[in-house]
Chain A
Amino acid sequence: MEAAASIGRRFLPAKSFFEQVGEMMLLTGRTIISAIRPPYPYGEEFIGQFLFALQLCWFPLLVSTVAICFGAPGLQAANVLNLFGALDRLGGFFVLAAIREIAPAVTAVVVAGVAGTAITADLGARKIREELDALQVLGVDPIKNLVVPRFLALMLITGLLDIYALIFGITGGILAELLYSQPLGGFFATLFSNASVTDLWGSVLKCTLFGAIISVVCCYKGMTASGGAAGVGRAVNQAVVISFMGVFAFNYVFTQTLLATNPELQTIR
């Protein structure tokens, strides 16, 4: 009996993990239903959250994408292409690197780290000041009025910021090309001949779904924060860790599915 209880305690973290994942799924379902079913009181909050996320994200995202695309795919790939004397092929590589992988991943990291943490801190502070309970007593549904606008706003902004990240990612590639004092004509020629519409919509769709994951995780962690001052900080910590894991695990599944189901992406033009 004693031994069984100790084994049970050992699996307690796993149990709470699965419970939390289940509750996040439930929150996702409730949010989607609540977003579709009238009335729609969340318009103003939606615009507010959208602008808030945009104001927070635009600068960190700009610096991050230029830096990572200049370093990782830019310099490293230019190094190896330079050995073969085929630096113009860097543009073709950027379709794979910047459009398919790095722009969505960096957008997700920045949105989770910047807007997601802000959302968790905001909702968590409201939770421990019992404002959420007060809203419920007043007959205001916190899911419809707080979670739905954040969910929709974060989904939309992450999808749109993907395009923004992509533009600045390619700017990083251009900087790498200029570092090797190459004319840019070859870069753009291979970039545009290799880029396909499937790649672009795949990238934007992936990023939009990243936004959904981030917003659900961050709203859930904010709304279940407990334990005073330390609790809000801990909630932000857990929210960003879970978002990262969720986003990158989903990224692997999505990339594999996209590449396996669209063989035309794999031809070099």
Chain B
Amino acid sequence: MNAWLEIPRGWLDSFGEIARFGSRVAGLVYSGRVLKFFGESLRQAGILILGSALIIWGLIFVLGLTCGIEGAYLFRAQGAPAYAGLFSAWCDLREVLPYAFGYMLSAKVGTGIVAELGAMRISDEIDALEVMGVQPVTFLCATRLLAAWITFPFMYLVGIGVMYFASYLAVVEQIGDVSSGGYLLIFWMFQNPLDLFYSLIKGMFMATAIVMVGCYYGYTASGGPVGVGTATAKSMVLNIVLVHIIGMLGTLVFWGANPRAPIGG
């Protein structure tokens, strides 16, 4: 029976440690002690932009296309193809964008951090940093969290544009049941800046959780090259579940009691 409960038990084991480690890293960023290594933060931000931006937008684009065709076919069946914009607007902005962002972030950034920090831990580079008098948590983890906070809001906002473009392409150009003007009228009517802000908050919570989990598993990796691989796999499991739970809680808090739709009184 033990093998079946390995994953939930592992989470229970390490949940407190991850929370403590994460709050320590966040504290280091918040108290400004990370600014001692601001250059390193900027370097990490550059790595995030160059290495991850395109692949994240790529996934967002594909999911935007899927959202578009599902919405177009759903409203064609209802006999109201002009309203495909309703589905696209909510699917894109409120739900699928944060999930797509979270998936690709945990795949690309989260596991990347674990692989990098884990390799440093295995080859004793983290101990070497400590010996040299550099605080490893500040230098390695807090800089990455700051870089994430600098970079990801902008990456997310561009992602929104990419996804809107993809949905437009799918609904208007590909399926073509609705004119461009008719689609955009409904599309923009069913969203407002506050929705965008809520969606951004959801995405940023996911990003923060992913970077913290990645830093934790990388920082505490052990057991040689195999250990790094195992730690990477473990971080991915936890990240995926966290992404889904944060997405659900975000929807419940932001839109649970208030649909924020221009329907009725």
* Residues of A in contact with B (beta carbons under 8 Å apart): 51, 55-56, 58-60, 63-64, 67-68, 70-72, 75-76, 79-80, 82-84, 93, 96, 100-101, 106, 109-110, 113-114, 117-118, 120-122, 124-125, 128-129, 179, 228-237, 240-241, 244-245, 248-249, 251-252, 255-256, 259, 265-268
Q: Report whether B115 and A236 are in contact in the complex, using a CB–CB cutoff of 8 Å.
A: yes
Q: 5 interchain pairs (CB within 8 A)?
A: A56-B6, A60-B237, A63-B244, A75-B252, A83-B259
Q: Report whether B263 and A240 are in contact in the complex, using a CB–CB cutoff of 8 Å.
A: no
Q: Report whether B261 and A240 are in contact in the complex, using a CB–CB cutoff of 8 Å.
A: no
Q: Report whether B261 and A80 are in contact in the complex, using a CB–CB cutoff of 8 Å.
A: yes
Measured in the bound complex, the distance between the Cα atoms of B226 and A121 in whole Å is: 7
In the complex, whether B187 has a CB less than 8 A from a CB of chain A is no
Q: Report whether B78 and A268 are in contact in the complex, using a CB–CB cutoff of 8 Å.
A: yes
Q: Report whether A248 and B62 are in contact in the complex, using a CB–CB cutoff of 8 Å.
A: yes
Q: Report whether A236 and B229 are in contact in the complex, using a CB–CB cutoff of 8 Å.
A: yes
* Chain B interface size range: 35 or more
In the complex, whether B225 has a CB less than 8 A from a CB of chain A is yes
Measured in the bound complex, the distance between the Cα atoms of B136 and A100 in whole Å is: 47
Q: Report whether B59 and A67 are in contact in the complex, using a CB–CB cutoff of 8 Å.
A: no
Residues from chain A with a CB closer than 8 A to the CB of B247 are 67-68, 71-72
Within 8 Å by CB of B240, from A55, A60, A229, A235, lies A60
Q: Report whether B66 and A233 are in contact in the complex, using a CB–CB cutoff of 8 Å.
A: no
Q: Report whether B233 and A118 are in contact in the complex, using a CB–CB cutoff of 8 Å.
A: yes
Q: Report whether B55 and A237 are in contact in the complex, using a CB–CB cutoff of 8 Å.
A: no
Q: Report whether A68 and B99 are in contact in the complex, using a CB–CB cutoff of 8 Å.
A: yes
Mostly, the B contact residues are: helix
In the complex, whether B24 has a CB less than 8 A from a CB of chain A is no
Q: Report whether B90 and A76 are in contact in the complex, using a CB–CB cutoff of 8 Å.
A: yes
* Residues of B in contact with A (beta carbons under 8 Å apart): 3-8, 55, 58-59, 62-63, 65-66, 69-70, 73-74, 76-78, 86, 90, 94-96, 99, 103-104, 106-108, 111-112, 114-116, 118-119, 122-123, 224-226, 228-233, 236-237, 239-241, 244-245, 247-252, 255-256, 259, 261, 263-264
Within 8 Å by CB of A240, from B65, B122, B236, lies B236
Q: Report whether B119 and A79 are in contact in the complex, using a CB–CB cutoff of 8 Å.
A: no
Measured in the bound complex, the distance between the Cα atoms of B116 and A234 in whole Å is: 8
If the complex has contacts A58-B4, A82-B259, A237-B111, are A245 and B251 also in contact, measured as CB distance less than 8 A? no
Q: Which of A71, A75, A125 gathers the greatest number of chain B CB atoms within 10 Å?
A: A71
If the complex has contacts A83-B261, A121-B226, are A229 and B118 also in contact, measured as CB distance less than 8 A? yes
Measured in the bound complex, the distance between the Cα atoms of B252 and A256 in whole Å is: 31
Within 8 Å by CB of A233, from B6, B59, B116, B249, lies B116
If the complex has contacts A75-B252, A80-B263, A121-B230, are A267 and B77 also in contact, measured as CB distance less than 8 A? yes
Measured in the bound complex, the distance between the Cα atoms of B19 and A189 in whole Å is: 44
Within 8 Å by CB of A232, from B66, B76, B225, B251, lies B225
If the complex has contacts A72-B251, A79-B255, A80-B259, are A55 and B90 also in contact, measured as CB distance less than 8 A? no
Q: Report whether A60 and B248 are in contact in the complex, using a CB–CB cutoff of 8 Å.
A: no
If the complex has contacts A68-B248, A75-B255, are A232 and B237 also in contact, measured as CB distance less than 8 A? no
Within 8 Å by CB of A234, from B62, B115, B122, B250, lies B115
Q: Report whether B104 and A120 are in contact in the complex, using a CB–CB cutoff of 8 Å.
A: no
Residues from chain A with a CB closer than 8 A to the CB of B96 are 72
Residues from chain B with a CB closer than 8 A to the CB of A75 are 251-252, 255-256
Q: Report whether A67 and B245 are in contact in the complex, using a CB–CB cutoff of 8 Å.
A: yes
Residues from chain B with a CB closer than 8 A to the CB of A58 are 4
Measured in the bound complex, the distance between the Cα atoms of B51 and A234 in whole Å is: 13
Q: Report whether A76 and B255 are in contact in the complex, using a CB–CB cutoff of 8 Å.
A: yes
Measured in the bound complex, the distance between the Cα atoms of B108 and A117 in whole Å is: 12
Within 8 Å by CB of B119, from A70, A128, A230, lies A230
Residues from chain B with a CB closer than 8 A to the CB of A64 are 240-241, 244
